[in-house]
Amino acid sequence: MSQPPLPANVPDWAFDRTTAWIYLVFGLVLAFTPLFPANYGIGIAALIAVRRERKSRGLPAFWWPFGVFVAGPLVYIFFVYRRHHHGTRFQVQQTYAAVPSVSSTSQPPPNSPRS
């Protein structure tokens, strides 16, 4: 039995495009300093945020978090851009799903000519 999606509990700024680019720059700067292990902590935080976001939308939560874990900020940037695109498409699908469909067996409206 599947469970309903839960809220992500991740702040919106975490998935902002600017934040994703800052994560990349920050990761590159840390790579050349003795504080390199701090990248692992930031990467795990990004991994958890991506997984929670995917689960909250009721989508499979394996490939994107795995990519963020393996490739870090590069995949995170792709995820953030795809998230905005997918969110728009998801809202459009919900809008169309809310519109009742007209079946071919429905009666014509009154005062309309019958052929």
- pLDDT for position 62: 83
Range 24-56 burial, b when 16+ CB lie within 10 A, else e: eeebeebeeeeeeeebeebbeebbebbbbbbbe
**Torsion sign (Cα): 74, 75, 76, 79:** positive
Please tell me the pTM assigned to this model: 0.65
Confidence check: pLDDT of 11 > 90: no
- pLDDT for position 84: 73
Segment 89-93 shows an average pLDDT of 51
Mean pLDDT of the chain: 79
The DSSP symbol for 52 reads: H
pLDDT in tens, 19-63: 999 999 999 999 999 988 899 999 999 999 999 888 888 877 788
Q: Which residue has the higher pLDDT, 21 or 3?
A: 21
Ranges of each domain in the chain? 24-93
